[in-house]
Amino acid sequence: MKIHILQIPDEGKHIEGEDPASVFELEDGTVESIAPLFYSLDVGLSEGGLFATGQLRTTFRMGCVSCLDPFELPIEVNDFACQVELDGREHVDLTESLREDILLALPPHPHCDGNGQRTCPGPPQSGSKSTPTESQRDVWGDLDRLKL
């Protein structure tokens, strides 16, 4: 998200919009951005710098660390804030700051029942009556056969 400094009036400016999901540059395959990055920011100039405050939101798809099922997780940052020194520039790119705040809001150990709307079945148990999915068999099968 690029801001042209000369377009910001003295009283500041409100900016709303979205950046494509590709701004997150996620390449490991365990977390996938499935929605654009929506932002609602108030920007202004003060003493040689640009400040921005506001809200960010997007949605990711990731796997539960317990049952391995994929689930969608909406992420919201309601208190985004950053300050950037201008150094004579006419444009400021806030993309990296927006990206960083959203990625820091991701849980380090995501659970599909984290929002309370679902009950996680947990890892498949050896000898249990429940039938794990094919992807769970692949992941847990080697561990089940491990002799310690």
CB 65 within 8 A of CB 109: yes
- Rounded distance between C-alpha atoms, residue 73 and residue 75, angstroms: 6
pLDDT of residue 132: 52
Query: Can you read off the two tokens belonging to residue 51?
Result: 């400040």
Domain positions in the chain are 2-117
The pLDDT averaged over each successive group of 10 residues in the chain (148 residues) is: 86 92 82 92 88 94 87 93 86 90 90 79 59 56 74
pLDDT of residue 48: 78
Amino acid at 30: T
pLDDT of residue 145: 76
- Rounded distance between C-alpha atoms, residue 111 and residue 115, angstroms: 9
